[in-house]
Amino acid sequence: MILPTCKEVSTAFAHGEFSTAPPLRRLGMQLHLLVCWHCRRFRRQMELIEMALKTVVFPLPDSARTDALKRTLLDHLKG
Ligand SMILES: [Zn+2]
């Protein structure tokens, strides 16, 4: 088996294709990560960016706040 290149591995991480890749391709990427600290660092950076986007920029809505908003909207629509 030929290991994927850094460009192939980093592109797969950037596009979120690592977890959905076929098993043999995913194995090749995992082996590449064992020997390539550049791609390990890139993966960590992508994970940090994803976490920051989820927690700071686009946080999941609080269920209590959305319920209160729904009640307010329904009350407003009822008149
Ligand atoms: Zn690499």
Which positions of the chain have pLDDT values less than 70?
1
CB distance 29 to 5 below 8 Å? no
Could you tell me the distance, in angstroms and rounded to a whole number, from the CA of residue 45 to the centre of ligand 1?
A: 14
pLDDT at 44: 93
CA distance 34 to 70: 49
35 belongs to a structural domain: yes
What length does the chain have?
79
CA distance 60 to 64: 12
1 belongs to a structural domain: no
Give the chain's end-to-end CA distance (angstroms, integer): 68
CA distance 34 to 40: 8
Residue-number span of the structural domain to which 32 is assigned:
6-78
The pocket of ion ligand 1, defined by CB under 5 A, consists of 6, 36, 38-39
The model's pTM: 0.67
User: How many domains is the chain partitioned into structurally?
Assistant: 1
- The Cβ of residue 13 has, within 10 Å, a number of other Cβ atoms equal to 19
